Amino acid sequence: MSRRAPRLGPIIGRVTAVAFVLVAIASAANCADIPLDQRRSGYLDLGRDSKAMQDDDTINPATLWVQDGEALWNQKAGAANRACADCHQDATVSMKGVAARYPAFSVARNGPINLEQRINLCRSEHQQAQPFAYENRELLALTAYVGRQSRGVAIAPPDDDRLAPFVEAGRKLFNRRIGQIDMSCAQCHDDNWGKKLAGSLIPQAQPTGYPIYRLEWQSLGSLQRRLRNCMTGLRAEAYEYGAPENVNLELFLMWRARGLLLETPAVRP
């Protein structure tokens, strides 16, 4: 008897260890998503001046890109000598709500494509023109112009079963620790939003206003540029512009922000 008693120790220890791991997994799964009613746009945390900048189109520097986008929309391009307007007519009518449901499934790519890629597909297929490079001024301008037509529209990811595995892939990426800092997106933006990282507020990372005019960039930039910023900050190797991983992340973020109103083009610090 006296010999048996000490043997129970390691067994109990192992059982508690297993139980602890199970609890840890369960709680990790629980805190993955921000409750729907607690989600907030980064706009609410802007300073007074930045809010004023976003609210007034004549002050918002992104309007300069929107204007360019409008000009490009009506400008004939490519071997087909066709403008966006020749097929889609008035963007204020035809493009309303479009940005709210991208990324969407593309049969040609057998996966999701974002708004920039959609614009470039139109360019190469229907206009027979050279696609724009990612982050180039023309592409940002057209994306901002198309996005602007959906301002105030609720983000509504397409109800498409074919997208489900890609949303899941995006979620996995969002929750995966990366880089030398060894942190995941979720550790900041799900678990610690509203707290401070150095002097800055940690936002929820809701992509409500892309492309955004970021004061730090002194320019307009895409969601992928922002994602790559975070990856570099974690000292990870950022995925290339247009890489499927980035599009999956975009898709997951839009799904996560479903129902929030689009503010394109937004202003952020």
Partner 1 sequence: MARPLINVPASVKRGQVFEIKTLISHIMETGFRYTTTGAQIPRDIVTTFSCSYNGEEIFSANLYPAISANPFLTFSTVATESGTLDFKWTGDNGFAESATAKIVVE
Please report whether residue 30 would count as binding partner 1 according to CB under 8 A. no
Burial status of residue 163 (CB atoms within 10 A of its CB: 0-12, 13-18, 19 or more) = buried
Please report whether residue 51 would count as binding partner 1 according to CB under 8 A. no
208 C-beta neighbours (distance < 10 Å), count: 21
Please report whether residue 78 would count as binding partner 1 according to CB under 8 A. no
Part in contact with partner 1 (CB under 8 A); list of ranges 31-39, 94-102, 171-179, 211-219: 211-219
For 120-173, the DSSP string reads HHHHHHTS--PPPPTT-HHHHHHHHHHHHTTTTPBP-----GGGHHHHHHHHHH
> Which residues have C-beta within 8 Å of that of residue 78, sequence separation ≥ 6?
123, 127, 128, 129, 130
Q: Which of 43, 65, 166, 174 touches partner 1 (CB under 8 A)? A: 65
CA distance 269 to 267: 7
User: Which among 258, 81, 99, 42 is positioned nearest to 167, based on CA atoms?
Assistant: 258
Beta carbon nearer to partner 1, 35 or 47? 47
β-strands 267-268, 212-214: how paired? parallel
Please report whether residue 67 would count as binding partner 1 according to CB under 8 A. yes
Shortest distance in whole angstroms from residue 38 CB to partner 1: 34
Could you confirm whether 230 is annotated as catalytic?
yes
Q: Which of 61, 78, 97, 242 touches partner 1 (CB under 8 A)? A: 61
Please report whether residue 63 would count as binding partner 1 according to CB under 8 A. yes
Please report whether residue 219 would count as binding partner 1 according to CB under 8 A. yes
Residue 134 · residue 242 · CB < 8 Å? yes
Beta carbon nearer to partner 1, 22 or 52? 52
Residues 129-168 that bind partner 1 (CB under 8 A): 137
Please report whether residue 229 would count as binding partner 1 according to CB under 8 A. no
**Please, what is the end-to-end C-alpha distance for the chain in angstroms?**
70
Please report whether residue 180 would count as binding partner 1 according to CB under 8 A. no
User: Which among 213, 250, 231, 227 is positioned nearest to 116, based on CA atoms?
Assistant: 250
Please report whether residue 94 would count as binding partner 1 according to CB under 8 A. no
Beta carbon nearer to partner 1, 41 or 264? 264
Contacts to partner 1 by CB under 8 A: 56, 58-59, 61, 63-65, 67-68, 137, 215, 218-219
Active-site amino acid positions: 230
